[in-house]
Amino acid sequence: MIGAVVTLRVLALDDWPLWRAARLAALTDSPDAFTVSLADWHGGGEEQWLARLAMPGAHNVVAVRDGEPVGLARGVPGADGYELRSVWVAPVVRGLGVGGRLLADVEEWAVRAGAPALRHCAHRQPGRDHLLPAARLHRANGDRRSGRDGQAVGIIPAMAYDLELADRIRELVATEHGVDEKRMFGGLAFLVNGNMSVAASGKGGLLVRVGPEDAGDLVDDHVRPAIMGGREMRGWLRVDTTAVDDSRLREWVDRGVSFARSLPVKTR
């Protein structure tokens, strides 16, 4: 199983057995992270699981590795806006970027639906909230605020980056190991072993990290040094959308990934 690729699968009604397997695995592994218990769902039949998947407008996604569910997340529309729920990542793939990919998938669903933000709720355990993987994941990806009824409530602002460009980058790094997705610089960044490599920028186009000694030779009419906080960032380039067709995008992604792999691994 080591080295197997993790894929995300958006579920249809016929996928209820996979949703059941993922949900039961989550409740077994992290009983404190959910408002329901394993006993509430363990004996549920097909109709009960179908009812969950049939909620109008809901978005259900499961991470799969070697045919087994290793993560899940759920997005639902509601009276208070769009919500992220039921986030779980199996221990065997924690730290491999699966949680970030699940959150990004639900966020993109919300953006395409026109949501200005994505509200998330994490079940709280007094004195233990900081230990829950879901709570840590939510804190890393949103504005965490205390809620009521034992929940930690936060807001993940909807990003303005190019979703199609993010999808194309995601496809190019799908077979790379140690890749994580994280909201950075107003966009969606792809980290390799904890180091930023390339990002779909919130300002449009691509943000790429390269060696400082190589950056100057790569600047042209469509590529310029990245400016952040009014300062030029050595080794960071901003690439216009017009310069990221399929062949050139692969070149930029390969360049960013290669440089990120040359850096020391960052541990969490």
234-263 pLDDT, tens digit each? 899 999 988 888 789 999 999 999 999 999
User: Which pLDDT does position 145 carry in this prediction?
Assistant: 42
Query: Whole-angstrom Cα distance, residue 72 to residue 83?
Result: 14
Report whether pLDDT(88) > 50.
yes
User: Which pLDDT does position 54 carry in this prediction?
Assistant: 86
Contact criterion met (CB below 8 Å) for 158 and 113: no
Report whether pLDDT(122) > 60.
no
Confidence band of 33 (pLDDT split at 50, 70, 90): low
Confidence band of 83 (pLDDT split at 50, 70, 90): confident
pLDDT in tens, 38-76: 666 655 667 877 887 888 889 999 999 999 999 999 998
> Pairing between strand 231-239 and 223-228?
antiparallel
- The token pair that represents 225 in the structure block: 């040094």
Contact criterion met (CB below 8 Å) for 178 and 95: no
pLDDT in tens, 38-47: 666 655 667 8
Q: What is the average pLDDT across 8-29? A: 91
Bridge partners of residue 151, in order along the sequence: 123
Report whether pLDDT(16) > 80.
yes
Query: Whole-angstrom Cα distance, residue 250 to residue 108?
Result: 22
Top pLDDT among 84 and 124 is at 84
